[in-house]
Copies of this chain bind each other. A is one copy, B any other.
Amino acid sequence: MKKNLKARITTNHEIAPGIYEMIILSKELSLEGFPGKFVNLYLEDGKHLLPRPISICEINAKEQVLRLIYAVLGKGTKKLSMMKENQEIHVLGPLGNGFTVEKGTGKNIVIGGGVGVPPLLELVKQLEGATDVYLGFRCNPFLVEDFKKYADNVYLATEDGSEGHKGNVLELLKLQNQEGDMIYSCGPKPMLKAVSEWAKNHNIDAELSLEERMACGIGACLVCTCKAAETGDEDWEYKRVCKDGPVFSRDEVMWE
């Protein structure tokens, strides 16, 4: 059940250039949290009315906290980054459908790019099968050590070559001749499109987590749609990223 509440911020600090970690305390949210789901954060400043959707990076039900990792991109995330510990924040969530963890009993390939990396951490923690993780960054990787705790292998790519493979994750994936039964991925659209094609070519099932600008976050306003089609169906329709997604199966998403 979705919650509309005020949660206390216990941590909010920079963990990599422009990347922040926010930990919020809420029993309800920690109980309802699920990998791939997200929360709406509200700025409540009179100027920025719309929520900022941020994925759940980690859940600790025992400590009753959610860990969120976000990039400072525009005015809203800038404001988020200036919020202080012990402040309360208006949160709506968990929202969306999340990944199908049950599909991950075989060999899993998890592919993340940039700010698409954080939502995959809780997933990797919960996946039963063997899991190889591919993480791509422009520069300044983050969360890599966290993934190493739970994954079988973690492969790293940076565009500037500062750490790991110089280039993108797709190249790395091909270099490794990676094999597997199930793919989970989150990241920028071009990356997801490439992952989707690679998965199709290798006949591997895949789940992709998309992003879109949102308003309600719960499926009522229809602003956050993406083009989707039932498998093999040419007659596409606009589906709601916030409610039907953010996680879609490989064949559902129609790329432009």
Contacts and interface: CB of A to CB of B under 8 A. Distances in A.
Interface stretch (A40-48, A116-124, A153-161): A40-48
6 contacts: A45-B45, A45-B46, A45-B47, A46-B46, A46-B48, A47-B47
Copies in the complex: 2
Contacts of A46: 45-48
Contacts of A47: 45-47
Contacts of A45: 45-47
A45 B48 CA distance: 10
A128 to B, nearest CB: 47
A46 B44 CA distance: 10
A147 B47 CA distance: 42
Question: What range describes how many residues of A lie at the interface?
Answer: under 10
Interface string A45-60: 1111000000000000
A46 B46 CA distance: 5
A248 B76 CA distance: 46
A86 to B, nearest CB: 13
A48 B46 CA distance: 8
A46 to B, nearest CB: 3
A48 B47 CA distance: 10
A186 to B, nearest CB: 32
Interface in A29-72: 45-48
A47 B44 CA distance: 10
A45 B45 CA distance: 6
6 cross-chain pairs, A with B, having the tightest CB-CB distances, nearest first: A46-B47, A46-B46, A45-B46, A45-B45, A47-B47, A46-B48
A45 B46 CA distance: 7
A3 B1 CA distance: 53
A76 to B, nearest CB: 12
A47 B45 CA distance: 7
A95 to B, nearest CB: 25
A45 B47 CA distance: 7
A47 B47 CA distance: 6
A47 B46 CA distance: 5
A138 B45 CA distance: 35
A155 to B, nearest CB: 44
Nearest to A47: B46
A180 to B, nearest CB: 48
A245 B45 CA distance: 34
